[in-house]
A and B are shown apart, each in its own frame.
Chain A
């Protein structure tokens, strides 16, 4: 998933929610004041591409797509998958899945949602190299050059099968992600490609629909209204949702305080120290599925082999995560205890080797000295970050800590533009450590591990390679039982703790707030509020 340049924005999957939590049912007193036709306003950012699910990989567009479309499943607030359009998803071997779609589901233009709606959309994603194409990479016939998938077969109007090229125990878990949403036939041109026009005014099947042709005012806002046709578990309890686009969270926060915004899903840095006081019980601060770290590529001098292992461990010990999250982030980050996130099913805080994440000045110095015995340290330990996001403060704090504990030179290296930062990482020209992070696409451990640390994986920017880790990951994937799979994934993390391809720092909390007039605001595992539950 795209981790926004602001490194903090809310997640992309807004789908999840409990069908009826106690919280949303407790509105008896507010029923008289709140209205099912009221419009909720929330913050967002201008989508970076047209609103096509498979082409939207960033927060701004993803937040809207998740409200406008409904997929086979959605995620509850705690990340548990709940069937939405899926009648059933069956498999015997974690390789071939038979998916039945509920009958009588409609897009807002009255087209029925069928098995074909899914298959067409998925083929478009792969053939036209949409940004989310890699989500289909496990399906048979996938290759990066845009050949159609061979593993998708339509059985009848409401049934299709998916054949994977290798077992993936968590495939059903992934199906709540927006890349897997269906599209109506009217979205496609003759060649079977989703048109750009569709992306400007998408027709979906979700709890909300785009309010007409001119509802998306570019760089300003988008208006969504309740879709009365939607009958799934995410039925809207309000009349609509207006997403206002902000350049930064500071102005959105000012609007929240002055009553011009109902729900804000990210507190700006400038208000971290005051928002709990400003908002009282309307403030939200809970862990979320965002993992932050910095990566030390093994190609850097002094960071390979045994010496590298010692230095990585020493650096990890030298970082006082408790203090930094408290002082720099005012408790809106939770110190990391693993490589995933505490809101993910299968998370464990007691993975073997995880004590390298605990501040230990003495051990840090010892290990560093041991490494110096192998080859004496020279130069400065630097961490690169994109300066168009709010990273300077924590990078400075981390490097100051390293300086103080290890007695070496250490500093941050700002890169002006995110595109430049990414280019340096992608073409491997970057010659320092660099900030890294991962926001889950779907609530599974595998999503935090495979794309980042598997040998040759797409986002393995540090070129980490460990046969042991790869083996455990593959074993986990071929399990049919999710708990057994998670056990393997935890073991795999034990390998990571030894090698430390990235130094885990903390989990970014969802820190948000809501206005005085709104009730039933609950934030999901992915940092996005469950908008459909909100009443006003």
Chain B
């Protein structure tokens, strides 16, 4: 087990290098000139362009820019944004907010999704199953911005249950509504996944054995069925946690959450290489850790999976 973890940690190094390289390349490949964009509809002079390019290393070849950036990381310098703020500071601001948002969202997904999925799976074809099939389909087929706008308007403005946007400091109570919106996207997936996994598990011999031993449903369902149905669900939840950290751009924008998605999207549009790369790098780190934890978790859920080699 210890060796396995060590190996995974070592694997993280090429992944990080690969990702930063790919990202840096993508930002570099973005057509258009971030310096020109700084001048709006005005056209700057050649000298101004040259100076700003030099300041942000944009005048150097791609590979040099990349290594300058990498070099900076080792002395703890992630560069600065166009507004003069150190990227490390932007990171420290945005990540905790998004992390909180993602945790709340995943919590909602997990509790609601697994419960409903389990019930649907056990009572397959019943009225409960059918009605949640419809609900989850509707949720899947609506773009998130539509859900977000409707939720903001109804719950934030009409009913006044929540603040329609996130206030200063992004307190938990303001994050509940955006988290619910985020949760709706994956909720449907979790329900479907849990449901099909439960149906599958139910047909396995050990479940039949458990019933034939005379165990009650009360015991078989949580201990035998649920535990053995969770592998794909947990995988998905982990993946989704990653997605929430990475890609809550639209929701964060609509609810004005000062988190990763919003900041990153702005940085992408402005072509701020160092900011984009640093954000994505931290996200990859997160993601690798989550994956490792999940893979270890498999072993707990399914004793047959062992990491021995």
Contacts and interface: CB of A to CB of B under 8 A. Distances in A.
Direct contact of A and B (CB under 8 A): yes
Interface of A: 1-5, 46-50, 57-58, 61, 128-129, 131, 133-134, 144-146, 196, 199-200, 217-221, 244-248, 250-252, 254-255, 257-258, 260, 270, 388, 417-424, 426, 436-438, 451, 458-459, 461
Contacts of A144: 45-48
A339 to B, nearest CB: 15
25 contacts: A50-B84, A57-B42, A129-B45, A200-B84, A219-B258, A221-B168, A251-B152, A251-B254, A251-B255, A255-B163, A255-B165, A257-B164, A258-B156, A258-B157, A258-B163, A418-B32, A419-B30, A419-B37, A419-B270, A422-B33, A438-B41, A458-B43, A458-B45, A459-B41, A459-B42
Most buried by A among B45, B51, B83, B253: B83
B45 to A, nearest CB: 4
Contacts of B266: 46, 219, 247
Given A50-B84, A200-B84, A1 B42 contact: yes
Interface residues of B, number: 52
A423 B33 contact: yes
Most buried by B among A3, A417, A459: A417
Contacts of B163: 255, 258, 260
Most buried by B among A196, A244, A254, A438: A254
B85 A218 contact: yes
Given A218-B90, A247-B262, A419 B43 contact: no
A388 B32 CA distance: 14
Closest 3 CB pairs of A and B: A2-B40, A420-B32, A419-B37
Contact of A133 (B45, B149, B153, B256): B45
A274 to B, nearest CB: 10
A246 B94 contact: no
A221 B83 CA distance: 14
Contacts of B270: 48, 419
Contacts of A423: 31-33, 36
Most buried by B among A61, A248, A420: A420
Nearest to A198: B84
Contacts of B83: 46-50, 61, 218
B269 to A, nearest CB: 6
Contacts of B258: 219-220, 245
Interface string B230-270: 00000000000000000000001111101000110110011
A154 B76 CA distance: 45
B137 interface: no
A459 B164 contact: no
Contact of B43 (A129, A217, A437, A459): A459
B85 A420 contact: no
